[in-house]
Amino acid sequence: MSGGVVAPVRRPLIEGHKTYHQITEDLCSPTEKAPSKAWIIAFIISVSVLAFGLFCIFWTIWMGIGTWGSNRTIGWAYDITNFVWWIGIGHAGTLISAILLLFRQRWRTGVNRAAEAMTIFAVICAALFPAIHVGRIWVVFYFFPYPNTRGSIWPNFNSPLLWDVFAISTYFSVSLLFWYTGLVPDFASIRNRASGLRKKIYNSLSFGWTGSAKHWQRWESLSLVLAGLSTPLVLSVHTIVSFDFATSVIPGWHTTIFPPYFVAGAIFSGFAMVQTLMVMTRKILKLQEYITIEHIESMNKVILVTGTIVGVAYLTELFIAWYSGYVYEQFAFFNRATGIYWWSYFGMMTCNVISPQIFWVKKLRRSVFVTFFMSIFVNIGMWFERFVIIATTLARDYLPSSWSYYRPTWVEIGIFIGTIGLFFTFYMIFTRVAPVVAIAEIKHILKVGGDQYIGENATHKNQHDTHSLSSTNHH
């Protein structure tokens, strides 16, 4: 993963002249200390919000889907918006852990662990929505093809909705394997510092890892192939989510631009959520030397690029709608921008297309404060994008007599806020039980990314040169 020559223009990825031991100390200690007051307060808030969300889910199941604001015209609304939003957020984790691994981007090591955790929690939040949306959650296993006493009768394998079931369950389980395999050596690090019951628990979690050379070799081989598998997988997941819309015959939905446009949007929103989490995590857990301004700037560059791709996609859609000469398509887009939901279109355009452009300015790209606010903006913007696509399009269908308006009820808002509570509850538990930054991987890049080896404050320049020489000889 690491090794090789480092260009002199590269800035350090690990600050503070860390030794290997210091890295273990810094990254294991958050799991060993009693939680801080800020953590406890935040955790209580998250769990309370989650509890309200669970109540709203219970209410929906008990009373029925009638408690939602969806109606006969707008059959898909808030829940599917939230589903697509969460799934999109998950994509950044896989992008960081898999695609950046294949591209040998060393800065990924500072953020990959937390980003993958985010993926897993975001997919859990997303998967809740289709499960509740079916109405009769107790027969939700009908989603899956299994030999049954009804014939056997099977689900429709030609349907994008079923493709979604397969895509999301595969995505979730493969992400979990990838994340956990990365965690195993780090759990062993924690185990070897612990005693008593804690040692037993962490030994179980680490599967008895010892760090033998052959195990590391296989571990690296496994990580690389899992990254290779996850890369097309993550692209397929949002492609298939976009097929839910693109294979329909609704003007504004059946466009061929959807798959790439959805994937770019997913990465865009996912990186924004990673920024939101990282800015808070590095501050609360005092990890500024591992998640540096360098990392934040790199991610802001990704946000700028994907935000611009999304912007181009919006404009392309508008152009193609006009150019197609098809009145229904033209109306759908005219309605999006100027119709009853003009405000959500306005929110989408402002937050997603215009606001990320401030990241052309280096100073703003490297500002933690600006990054935090931008990340929230982008998340709001991407939520509006999904709302625009789903609710706005359905509200004005072919028959003006059935035109309708949708507004969410308190139950729907409660469920959405509840998933945010669920997400943060899981994330906060994660910061207490596992190292938020991948210990082994950080040690692996120390000699090519530590500030004692590269950058202005380097004190070990010579050693580093011999290191890079010896590893290049090796290739």
What is the DSSP annotation of 150-203? TSS----TT-HHHHHHHHHHHHHHHHHHHHHHHHHHHHHHHHTT--HHHHHHHH
CA atoms within 13 A on the CB side of 467: 18
* Cα separation of the two ends of the chain: 12
Of 166-195, which residues contact other proteins (CB under 8 A)?
166-167, 169-170, 173-174, 177-178, 181, 184-185, 188-189, 191-193
Q: How far is the CB of 444 from other proteins (least distance, A)?
A: 4
> Cα(14)–Cα(450) distance, rounded to whole angstroms?
5
> Cα(95)–Cα(271) distance, rounded to whole angstroms?
9
Residues near 312 by beta carbon (within 8 Å), at least 6 away in sequence: none
Q: How far is the CB of 475 from other proteins (least distance, A)?
A: 9
Q: How far is CA 40 from the centre of its chain?
A: 25
Please identify which residue in the block is written with the tokens 């969410």. 408
Contact stretch for other proteins (CB under 8 A) within 113-121, 335-343, 384-392, 466-474: 466-474
Q: Whose Cβ is closer to other proteins: residue 299's or residue 440's?
A: 440
Q: How far is the CB of 107 from other proteins (least distance, A)?
A: 17
Q: How far is the CB of 216 from other proteins (least distance, A)?
A: 4
Instruction: Return the bridge partners of 450, or none.
Output: 14
Q: How far is the CB of 122 from other proteins (least distance, A)?
A: 19
Q: How far is the CB of 119 from other proteins (least distance, A)?
A: 14
Classified as helix, coil or strand, 128 is: helix
Of 241-260, which residues contact other proteins (CB under 8 A)?
243
Select from 36, 105, 148, 217 the one that contacts other proteins (CB under 8 A). 217
Q: Whose Cβ is closer to other proteins: residue 296's or residue 439's?
A: 439
Classified as helix, coil or strand, 14 is: strand
> Cα(241)–Cα(108) distance, rounded to whole angstroms?
26
Contact stretch for other proteins (CB under 8 A) within 90-98, 126-134, 210-218, 255-263: 210-218
Q: Whose Cβ is closer to other proteins: residue 13's or residue 321's?
A: 13
Select from 240, 264, 278, 395 the one that contacts other proteins (CB under 8 A). 240
Q: How far is the CB of 262 from other proteins (least distance, A)?
A: 14
Of 126-145, which residues contact other proteins (CB under 8 A)?
145
Q: How far is the CB of 208 from other proteins (least distance, A)?
A: 4
Of 437-456, which residues contact other proteins (CB under 8 A)?
439-441, 443-444
Select from 36, 221, 248, 402 the one that contacts other proteins (CB under 8 A). 221
Residues near 258 by beta carbon (within 8 Å), at least 6 away in sequence: 242, 243, 245, 246
> Cα(432)–Cα(28) distance, rounded to whole angstroms?
10
Q: Which of 92, 97, 123, 113 is nearest to 226 (CA)?
A: 97
Contact map string, positions 3 to 42, toward other proteins, x by CB under 8 A: x---------------xxx--x------------------
Q: How far is the CB of 151 from other proteins (least distance, A)?
A: 6
State whether the Cα torsion 226-232-236-239 is positive or negative: positive
Q: Are 103 and 282 in contact (CB under 8 A)?
A: no
Q: Is 325 in the site for other proteins (CB under 8 A)?
A: no
Contact stretch for other proteins (CB under 8 A) within 278-286, 324-332, 362-370, 467-475: 467-475
416 token code pair: 């959405």
